[in-house]
Amino acid sequence: MIIVGETNQVRENVNDLSERGNAQSHGANVGLIGDKITIRGGRPLVGRIEVKGAKNLVTKAMVAALLGETPSILRDVPNISDVRIVRGLLEAHGVKVTEGDEPGSLQLDPVDVESAHYADIDAHAGSSRIPILFCGPLLHRLGEAFIPELGGCRIGDRPIDYHLEVLRKFGAVVEKQPDGIRMSAPNGLKGTKVELPYPSVGATEQVLLTAVRAEGITELKNAAIEPEIMDLINILQKMGAIITVDTDRVIRIEGVESLQGYQHRALFDRNEAASWAAAALATDGDIFVGGAKQAEMLTFLNVFRKVGGAFDIHDDGIRFYHPGGDLKPVIIETDVHPGFMTDWQQPLVIALTHAHGVSIVHETVYEQRFGFVDALVEMGATIQIHRECLGGHPCRFGQRNFNHSAVIAGPTKLVGADIEVPDLRGGFSHLIAALTAEGTSTVSNVGIISRGYENFITKLRLLGADFDLEG
């Protein structure tokens, strides 16, 4: 039996690699320390940090390696716990994962892919949603798969109905069982026509990773076209896939009989870059984010400038800074690409608490992504959450009783408090809040942040933050 999966939320420990050594290792237990930070706010963050490959590409690229008949090499892999979870799952299925040809690269050899035992999977499980993407590749390689309950950030219901529907359309037999979902493909997987109800990133990746080796042609309508998806398409093309991206969110995939390994340098993490940019603005700071690029951040940069932030674009990164003067309020609606990413709003909200006037953030991708706001209100922010669609356009959450619009009145001064990180991006925004607050804050559950931010403790130290680790 093949098992793909993870347990529910697992608290990750912070991995402060520069302090504990082993900086290039992507093993499962790297440099564990406590889960609490005491931050003395009020210091601007100033300096240079580097961002590596995008969490939301690297983890999928690692799964894609399962489809090759020869080893793949992935470069710029960040040392984050989501990568370690996927590595563990791949190893549980017989993929040999070793350090690659340069620091921060991984070699993934799928030649001996095999069924995994539940215990092996469970031992490597964590709070990531990537295991659902193992289905297509494992059905191609081994003919069956099993998915225990999924985890991930609690920012909404996060159903997997699109994924299961897509897999059924390819010919997978999906059977819900008390301990998870069992899948098989008795007649192989065949190309199909799919139209997604919403341009879901994960469901688009599910189609891509399944269609590339399915028999015949697959047409996907209403596909997500995020840069991370385009980079996954680049990887699949390197492996031998035939994929056409048409206008109007249509992707066509011509299935091929076999794929080879790839060599690829991952797209930079634009969510991490935007988070540090937001930290620079909120702390009156000046941060050079090495590795950040303009094209994938165009929409963010416009909003950053409208709020009153400044940036200089260089060949090797982007400098983000507070140029002085008052910050200005904005109205933001999060959206699928090329819109303003949902992952960017949480860190930016802290800067909006300093803006002179009323800002609105209308969250249209996840129905519950304002869980992090309670702590900010406790720290002195004036933020109200509403059920109505306040950004200007009605969204699919409008009539469904979800608190998905935030009204932020500023400027307010934040004061230190004891706060607990609720989710990955909300957690980073709590760190920023504590860094800008007057007095001392204790932020607990910070391990969650290491799911998506490589060496964030070391980076905070490099940028001059004043804090102690506890735990």
Residue 343 known to bind ligand: yes
Spell out the alpha helix ranges (H) of 176-269.
201-211, 227-239
Q: CB of 203: closest distance to ligand EPU in angstroms? A: 5
Q: Is the Cβ of residue 202 or residue 391 nearer to ligand EPU in the bound state?
A: 202
Which residue among the candidates 135, 153, 389, 395 is catalytic per the annotation?
153
Map residue 321 onto helix, strand or coil. Answer: strand
CA triple 140-260-131, angle to 5 deg: 45
Residue 221 known to bind ligand: no
Q: CB of 288: closest distance to ligand EPU in angstroms? A: 23
Spell out the alpha helix ranges (H) of 34-172.
55-64, 81-92, 118-123, 135-142, 161-169
Q: Is the Cβ of residue 129 or residue 182 nearer to ligand EPU in the bound state?
A: 129
Residue 96 known to bind ligand: no
Q: CB of 330: closest distance to ligand EPU in angstroms? A: 20
Residue 55 known to bind ligand: yes
Residue nearest to ligand EPU (CB): 202
Q: CB of 453: closest distance to ligand EPU in angstroms? A: 10
Distance (Å) of CA 223 to CA 62, 258, 376: 21, 24, 35
Distance of CA 296 to the CA centre of its chain: 15
Distance (Å) of CA 294 to CA 108, 284, 333, 344, 416: 30, 22, 20, 15, 34
- Round to whole Å and give the CA distance between 33 and 463: 20
Residue 413 known to bind ligand: no
Q: Is the Cβ of residue 142 or residue 211 nearer to ligand EPU in the bound state?
A: 211
Site residues, ligand EPU (CB under 6 A)? 55-56, 129, 153, 156-163, 198, 200-203, 224, 226, 271, 341-343, 365-366, 424-425, 452
Which residues are CB-neighbours of 394 under 8 A, at least 6 positions away? none
Whether 153 is catalytic: yes
Spell out the alpha helix ranges (H) of 51-126.
55-64, 81-92, 118-123
Q: CB of 58: closest distance to ligand EPU in angstroms? A: 10
Q: Is the Cβ of residue 86 or residue 355 nearer to ligand EPU in the bound state?
A: 86
Identify whether the C-beta of residue 269 lies closer than 8 Å to the C-beta of residue 222.
no
Q: Is the Cβ of residue 161 or residue 326 nearer to ligand EPU in the bound state?
A: 161
Q: Which residues are annotated as a binding site?
A: 55-56, 129, 343, 365
Q: Which residues are annotated as a binding site for UDP-N-acetyl-alpha-D-glucosamine?
A: 129, 343, 365
User: Which positions are annotated as active-site residues?
Assistant: 153
Q: Which residues are annotated as a binding site for phosphoenolpyruvate?
A: 55-56
